[in-house]
A and B are shown apart, each in its own frame.
Chain A
Amino acid sequence: MESQSSTPNIADLIQSDRVHGSVYTDEAIFQLELEKIWYKTWVYVGHASEVPNANDFVSKSIGPQPLIMTRGRDGVIRLLLNRCPHRANQVCLQAKGNRGSFTCPYHGWTFSNSGELRGFPFPDGYDTADRSELGLGQVNRVAEYKGFVFGSFADEGPSLEEHLGAGGRDAIDRLVQTSPEGEVEITAGFLQHRAKANWKFIVENETDGYHPQFVHASIFSIAKSGIGDLYSSDSTAVARDLGDGHTENDLRPEFRRIDKPMNWFGTNEARLPDYVEKMKAAYGEEKAREIMIDGTPHVMIFPNLFIAEIQIFVIQPLAVDESIQHVTALQFKGAPDLNRRLRQQTMGSVGPAGFLLADDSEMYERTQRGVKSKMPEWNYLGRGKHRERRDEEGFMVGDATDEVTSRGIWRHYRELMEAE
């Protein structure tokens, strides 16, 4: 931990094509981020399919704070804070399970899974205690978009749909239609990959189309993967700033040029006959072909949900220089043959031993150490500034390897950090 200043002036630290190194290392800035971003805006927490039945629960988090995501008897998903209102003991120690109530092991206070205090032992010891005031804390607003559950600690502010914007919603819409039943399921369990690095290095890297050819050269060269070519200077793919900090690498132009169904997943229709048949039955020949050519999105929903074609990452900051990537394979309802391959490929790619992510995380940690060096003070993010342009929908786009995405992230970050 280090603290360079007590009152950082964000406007001085974030400029149109460069950011000051202290934004990754200053403890005061990290505390401000918790207040202005993590404990205010919409943050992705979990997926409805992780608590499919009444009384299911799963341990989650927003920033460093642990939460319990529960589904009540009434079917409603809630985000409870894991802190007994009596003396702050943690009431739930399990990763997941099914229960209608949580009993604090310290003094036996019991809470329903919708947060209300049900009772405490030896009640004659309390004279005026108002039980309705002594429930578990709850994240102020909870909202769902196509099964993706987000929470916001602010009572008021933009709705989740407004926060996602047209670009974020469209990405999730595109994702779910990869399922013949139009639903994503998060059922394969998470790997938790820790890195000694600031969370923003991770967010920026997710849609940095410049790094794959170098960071992942080892696996691209031996696995005969076509991924590297998608991020070359000849690629027709685009980097896109979707606004509100959301960004994507849109690979569809390349997949459409290649024009082979399931090529996005490095396979072909013949290898997934059941899936292909179900997709055609669900969407019709033409639309199914379109979906199977376009593939799933590569989109970073600010600040913490990275949908990475075949898996999702949930980014959790623990400290200014410590972060966790929670990662699991995407599973598409009604597509068991596709899902099996998604799990296998995800396991090879990500997590602490992954062919890809172990090298990304190496870069996160090296940049965290590098940015502590005094000179030249700034990270330069000007790549492709001379060729960025508006697309038909009005989003700013650049070539596949351009840093239009990083610039979009920082513009939004600065707005959030400067807001009252």
Chain B
Amino acid sequence: MSSQIDLALLAEVQQFLYMEARLQDSNLYSEWEALWTDDAIYWVPANGADIDPEEQMSIIYDNRSRIGLRIKQFYTGKRHTQAPASSLGRVVSNIEILDVNGDEVKVASNAMIFECNLRADTVWATRNEFLLRRTEEGFRMARKKVVLVNNEKPLYTLSFLV
């Protein structure tokens, strides 16, 4: 990567992350699911940012088929913890392009998420890392890692799309 900032790429990445956030905040489940590649990994670690998800428990560690199951569960109408669905508003910022490698762009960002559900209002803060892959339809997510800053502590149910 050159030291020059590629503003066009940054704008493109930014638009993609904002769109992803909008789909999540709007609980547009299948539209969000369509953003993933076939070899996708969706990872929300517990107990730190750098555990080995193959050996240690994570909050979410989904391959593509399990992402599909997660989405299908919402559409049954009996995913009780999301019926009614959480009301969500999130702010995405600190977007930084970490690496460009052929079709793939590695991106870091932060998010602050305000969730309102039957229990209470809850604020979640995350440090995210994406591996975006360029396809004919635009960027797709090959990997998304969501590090909840309080993931070493007991957490209330987190059943919306984070």
Considering the complex, give the chain A residue whose CB is closest to the CB of B45: A189
Residue pair A358, B157 in contact (C-beta under 8 Å): yes
Partner of B118, one of A344, A347, A355, A366: A366
Residue pair A352, B59 in contact (C-beta under 8 Å): yes
Find the residue from B56, B154, B155, B162 having the highest chain A CB count within 10 A.
Answer: B154
**How many residues on B have C-beta within 8 angstroms of the other chain's C-beta atoms?**
36
Which residues, 39 to 94 on B, are CB-close (under 8 Å) to A?
A: 44, 46-47, 51, 54-62, 66, 69-70, 72-73, 76-81
Partner of A193, one of B79, B119, B155: B155
Residue pair A192, B155 in contact (C-beta under 8 Å): yes
Interface string of A318-354 (1 = CB under 8 A from B): 0000001001110000000000100110111001110
Residues of A within 8 A of B155 (CB): 192-194, 352
Which residues, 292 to 322 on A, are CB-close (under 8 Å) to B?
A: none
Residue pair A347, B58 in contact (C-beta under 8 Å): yes
Q: How far is the CA of A285 from the CA of B106 in the complex (A)?
A: 52
Is A95 among interface residues, defined by CB-CB distance under 8 A? yes
Residue pair B80, A222 in contact (C-beta under 8 Å): no
Q: How far is the CA of A362 from the CA of B156 in the complex (A)?
A: 10
**How many residues on A have C-beta within 8 angstroms of the other chain's C-beta atoms?**
39
Is A281 among interface residues, defined by CB-CB distance under 8 A? no
Residues of B within 8 A of A348 (CB): 62, 66, 69
**Which one of A13-21, A115-123, A212-220, A254-262 contacts B?**
A212-220
| A359-B81 contact in complex given A189-B56, A194-B156, A351-B57, C-beta closer than 8 Å | yes
Partner of A188, one of B55, B120, B153: B55
Partner of A215, one of B77, B80, B119, B158: B80
> Distance in Å from the Cβ of B37 to the closest Cβ of chain A?
20
Residue pair A359, B80 in contact (C-beta under 8 Å): yes
Residues of A within 8 A of B62 (CB): 348
Residues of A within 8 A of B154 (CB): 192-194, 324
| A188-B73 contact in complex given A358-B81, A358-B157, A362-B80, C-beta closer than 8 Å | no
Residue pair A196, B156 in contact (C-beta under 8 Å): yes
Considering the complex, give the chain B residue whose CB is closest to the CB of A311: B57
Q: How far is the CA of A401 from the CA of B47 in the complex (A)?
A: 36
Considering the complex, give the chain A residue whose CB is closest to the CB of B57: A189
Residue pair A193, B58 in contact (C-beta under 8 Å): no
A contacts, CB < 8 Å to B:
95, 188-196, 215, 217-219, 221-223, 324, 327-329, 340, 343-344, 346-348, 351-353, 355, 358-359, 361-363, 365-366, 369
B contacts, CB < 8 Å to A:
44, 46-47, 51, 54-62, 66, 69-70, 72-73, 76-81, 118-120, 152-159, 162
Q: Which 7 pairs show the lowest CB-CB distances between chains A and B?
A: A192-B154, A218-B78, A194-B154, A218-B76, A362-B81, A189-B56, A352-B158
